[in-house]
């Protein structure tokens, strides 16, 4: 790693960048304020959310991604991030779910929640929950509490009440092993929230170890650091094989008004996994 890369990964640099971006958002925020929408992460009232970055659309066209970004599940191009806190639509979906169930979880011993590759806006919100024992984790980031390889998690069996694993598994070559490790550390009665990029109507996963270049991964997997494009049926099948039961919570569970007010696309689905008993 170069000296510049080391500096970019340092906590002071990450903190500076985060503060700088927050300051720029604050300057532009008045143009977005209103009453039609509300961010469930920071609770600001809005007239609009911010669309997906233009650079993403340019890269989709440049590399010829074989699927259209308009075909993605849980991906609102027109209302991707909150103009105040920068929470993405999938982070807002997780926040709504946690807000809804948390009152039923409070009051007992500390709830151990592990947030893998944490998103800063959602992380700040979760840390404010009562009864929480929050731990952030990532393989290489400097701004987390734990450095963890999801394929070899250094925690005892059944030691975690809740885990968040959003848009991580598509980066991991041995994702089945990672899923088994997540199941191993989850307590009976606990749950995990798992999200990966999914294309509507695609059931089978496409992965090929010969697809290694940034250009080809963008073309077939939608990002240069993705190692597969999951299919929905196969994604659920892999989780099931790892020992999870899988609940798919969509607009029928949350309600159309809730989705609309939080800027969440109607096709969005939150995957809630629980530890099945081994036979």
Domain membership of residue 33 (yes or no) is no
Residue 169's domain comprises 54-275
- Owner of token pair 């989850």: 186
Q: 10 Å Cβ neighbour count for 261?
A: 17
Which are the contacts of 30, defined by CB distance < 8 A and separation ≥ 6? none
Please say whether the beta carbons of 42 and 25 come within 8 A.
no
Domain membership of residue 27 (yes or no) is no
Separation of alpha carbons 59 and 57, rounded Å: 5
Domain membership of residue 5 (yes or no) is no
Distances (CA, A) of 70 to 35, 117, 186: 27, 25, 34
Q: Looking at residue 279, what is its pLDDT?
A: 43
Domain membership of residue 179 (yes or no) is yes
Domain membership of residue 18 (yes or no) is no
CATH number at residue 101: 3.40.50.150
Domain membership of residue 171 (yes or no) is yes
- Owner of token pair 């170069």: 2
- Helix then strand then coil, in percent of the chain rounded to 5, is 40, 25, 40
Domain membership of residue 191 (yes or no) is yes
DSSP category for residue 218:
H
Please say whether the beta carbons of 86 and 117 come within 8 A.
no
Q: Is 9 helix (H, G, I), strand (E, B) or coil?
A: coil
Q: pLDDT tens digits, the chain, 279 residues: what are they?
A: 565 556 667 777 677 777 788 888 889 899 999 999 999 999 999 999 999 989 998 999 999 999 977 789 999 999 999 999 999 999 999 999 999 999 998 766 789 999 999 999 999 999 999 899 999 999 989 899 999 999 999 999 999 999 999 999 999 999 999 999 999 999 999 999 999 999 999 999 999 999 999 999 999 999 999 999 999 999 999 999 999 999 999 999 999 999 999 999 999 999 999 997 654
- Max alpha carbon distance in the chain (Å)? 57
Q: Looking at residue 106, what is its pLDDT?
A: 74
The pTM of this model reads 0.93
- The string of DSSP codes covering 100-121 is HHHHHHTTSSPEEEEEES--HH
How many domains are contained in the chain?
1
**Whose CA is closest to 244, among 177, 178, 175, 191?**
191
Give the DSSP H/E element, type plus range, for residue 14: helix 11-28
Domain membership of residue 116 (yes or no) is yes
């Amino acid at each position: 790693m170069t000296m510049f890369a080391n500096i970019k990964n340092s906590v002071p640099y990450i903190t500076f960048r985060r503060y700088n971006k927050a300051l720029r958002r604050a300057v532009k925020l008045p143009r977005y304020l209103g009453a039609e929408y509300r961010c469930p992460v920071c609770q600001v009232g809005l007239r609009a959310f911010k669309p997906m970055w233009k650079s993403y659309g340019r890269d989709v066209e440049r590399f010829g991604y074989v699927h259209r970004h308009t075909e993605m599940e849980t991906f609102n191009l027109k209302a991707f991030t909150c103009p105040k806190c920068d929470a993405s639509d999938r982070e807002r979906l997780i926040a709504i779910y946690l807000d809804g169930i948390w009152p039923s979880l409070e009051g007992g011993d500390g709830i151990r929640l592990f947030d893998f590759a944490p998103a800063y806006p959602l992380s700040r919100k979760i840390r404010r929950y009562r009864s929480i024992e929050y731990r952030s984790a990532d393989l290489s980031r400097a701004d987390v509490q734990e450095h963890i390889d999801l394929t070899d998690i250094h925690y005892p069996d059944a030691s975690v009440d809740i885990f968040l694993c959003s848009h991580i598994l598509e980066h991991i070559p041995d994702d089945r092993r990672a899923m088994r490790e997540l199941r191993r550390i989850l307590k009976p009665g606990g749950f995990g929230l798992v999200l990966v990029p999914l294309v509507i109507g695609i059931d089978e996963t496409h992965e090929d170890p010969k697809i290694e270049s940034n250009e080809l991964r963008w073309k077939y997997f939608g990002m240069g650091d993705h190692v597969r494009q999951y299919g929905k049926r196969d994604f659920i099948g892999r989780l099931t094989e790892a020992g999870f039961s899988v609940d798919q919570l969509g607009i029928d569970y949350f309600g159309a008004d809730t989705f609309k007010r939080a800027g969440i696309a109607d096709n969005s689905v939150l995957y809630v996994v629980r530890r099945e008993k081994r036979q």
